[in-house]
Amino acid sequence: MHVLVTGGAGFIGSHSVEKLLEANIPVRILDNFTSGTRDNLPNNSQLEIQEGDIRDEVAVHSAMKDITHVLHLAAQVSVQASVENPPESCSTNIGGFVNVLQASRANDVQRMVYASSAAVYGRPVQLPLSEKAMAQPCSPYGLEKYVNDQYAILFAKEFGVSLFGLRYFNVYGPRQDPQSPYAGVISKFISMIEQRQPLAVFGDGSQTRDFIFVKDIAKANVQALQSDMGGVCNVATGKIHSLLQLIDILSRCANQSVEVVHQTVREGDIPFSETEITRLQALMPTNDFTDLSSGLTALLQYTSQTVKK
Ligand code: UD1
């Protein structure tokens, strides 16, 4: 295998690159370094870095040279930014996606795995969410990811490209910037704990999410490249936690009591999320996801080290 990882310098990308290199698989990344950084990447002779944008056809085609597999993670990842500037978000998340898809086809790559999202489902009508649930995106970002899934189905069926879309749920872990507009609640809470500030809970804290550790996402990505499954697959642990449960575990992991301040419910917030992971279990039969407490402990340790630096 020789894998091209688009967005390889980003949060999920850099962990996926590490996992591939651990397995002795040579990697090339294509990244425009708008949100990813070189610091996220290891020094490794098996790793090649190409700076470029997925909207640039020439850059994408040149990045495909001698590549057997593509892991497409580069995207405009902020839901909020997609609401504020839909054309800009569309140009990366649909235009860029189609560029990578077409280049994979033209270069006869053996397989392309790409990042879809739980945002495709929008506000769930029925829980737990299986891949068969109706897509009802409620943001341009969710719609863009759904359009990706539809393109993938078409390119697989009509042009014989091997494609697999991973619908990530709530991802957390090292290198997710708490200041970034797409940082999840865990990054934000840990940053507040570090600063000994109260945690702002939007609503009563009963809302549930399926939180998955980024290293498990990286593992799923690598296994997805090596499998022959098609269509889309939810990527989540299958276990849910309410925000209040999350805070309780966080406080124990940090060995610190935390103060909570309740604020008004965030506009458009999803009250409950729960995921059905039968397809993922077929991809990863060992089902050994990092439990929330271990993931939070690892993240707290990482954060305290980076704060000290
Ligand atoms: C995710 C997206 C969000 C999008 C939504 C719908 C991210 C980080 N967020 O939200 O932009 O609109 O899917 O597709 O990708 N919370 C607090 N305090 C905080 C931050 C969050 O109480 O300081 C709450 C939120 O109101 C929410 C829960 O924590 O109920 C989780 O929030 P978040 O991590 O943003 O994830 P999603 O709600 O799934």
Both 21 and 163 in one domain: the answer is yes
Looking at the 3D structure of the chain, how many domains does it have? 2
Other Cβ atoms less than 10 A from the Cβ of 53: the count is: 19
CATH number at residue 176: 3.90.25.10
pLDDT beyond 60 at 309: no
Please state the atom number of ligand 1 nearest to the C-alpha of residue 79: 11
Whichever domain contains 153, its CATH number is: 3.40.50.720
**pLDDT tens-digit readout, 220-249:** 999 999 999 999 999 999 999 999 999 999
Same domain, 97 and 191: no
Atom of ligand 1 nearest to the CA of 265: 26
In this structure, the answer to whether residues 217 and 70 fall within a common structural domain is yes
- Residue 147 in domain: yes
Q: Exactly one of 121, 141, 146, 172 is catalytic; which is it?
A: 141
Q: Going by CA atoms, what residue is nearest to atom 28 of ligand 1? A: 185
For residue 248, what pLDDT is reported?
A: 97
| Alpha carbon of 21 to ligand 1 centroid (Å) | 32
Q: What is the pLDDT, as a whole number, of residue 183?
A: 81
Share of the chain above pLDDT 70, in %: 98
Q: 185 CA distance to ligand 1 centroid (A)?
A: 6
* 255-268 tens-digit pLDDT: 999 999 999 999 88
302 shares its domain with 184: yes
Q: What is the pLDDT of residue 197?
A: 95
- Is-catalytic flag, 182? no
CA distance 56 to 77: 18
Q: Is the CB of 188 under 6 A from ligand 1?
A: yes
- Taking only the tens place, the pLDDT of each residue in 17-51 is 999 999 999 999 999 999 999 999 999 999 999 99
Residue 120 inside a domain? The answer is yes
| Beta bridge partners of residue 70, listed in sequence order | 4, 112
* 276 within a domain of the structure (yes/no): no
Residue 31 domain boundaries: 3-170+212-235
Residue 219 CA to ligand 1 centre (angstroms): 24
Which residue, 238, 219, 240, is CA-closest to 283?
219
Q: How far is the CA of 268 from the centre of ligand 1 (A)?
A: 10
Q: Ligand 1 center to residue 184 CA distance, Å?
A: 6
DSSP string, 164-191: EEEEE-EEE-TT--TTSTT--HHHHHHH
- Asked if residues 296 and 213 have their Cβ atoms less than 8 Å apart, the reply is no
Same structural domain for residues 105 and 223?
A: yes
- Residue 251 included in any domain: yes
| pLDDT above 90 (res 87) | yes
Mean pLDDT of all residues in the chain? 95
Whether 179 and 156 map to the same domain: the answer is no
Mapping DSSP onto H, E and C, the string for 65-109 reads: CCCCEEEECCCCCCHHHHHHCHHHHHHHHHHHHHHHHHHHHHCCC
Ligand 1: centre distance to CA 171 (Å): 11
Tell whether 131 and 255 lie within a shared domain.
no
Which pLDDT does position 177 carry in this prediction? 84
Check pocket membership of 207 for ligand 1, CB cut-off 6 A: yes
pLDDT-based confidence at residue 181 (cuts at 50, 70, 90): low
Q: Domain boundary at 193, 220, 235, which?
A: 235
Domain assignment present for 225:
yes
Question: Mutation test of ligand 1: which of 170, 214, 250, 296 has the most ligand atoms closer than 8 Å to its C-beta?
Answer: 170
In a domain, 230, yes or no: yes
**C-beta 266 within 6 A of ligand 1:** yes
Please report the atom of ligand 1 found closest to the CA of residue 80. 11
What residue owns the CA closest to ligand 1's atom 31? 185
Q: Are residues 70 and 187 in the same domain?
A: no
Q: Tell me if 184 CB under 6 Å of ligand 1.
A: yes
Tell me if 133 is assigned to some domain. yes
Do residues 69 and 109 both lie within one domain?
yes
More confident residue, 269 or 132: 132
Does residue 138 share a domain with residue 127?
Answer: yes
Same domain, 128 and 246: no
Rounded mean pLDDT, 2-18: 98
Residue to mutate, 35, 136, 167, 185, ligand 1, most ligand atoms under 8 Å from C-beta = 185
Q: Residue 307 — very low, low, confident or very high, per pLDDT cuts 50/70/90?
A: low
Strands 163-168 and 111-117: parallel
Could you give the CA distance from residue 171 to residue 6 in angstroms, rounded to a whole number? 18
Q: In this structure, is residue 166 part of a structural domain?
A: yes
Phi, psi of 112 (to 5 degrees): -130, 125
Reported confidence tier of residue 97, pLDDT bands at 50, 70, 90: very high
Asked if 142 and 121 sit in the same domain, the reply is yes
Q: What is the pLDDT of residue 308?
A: 59
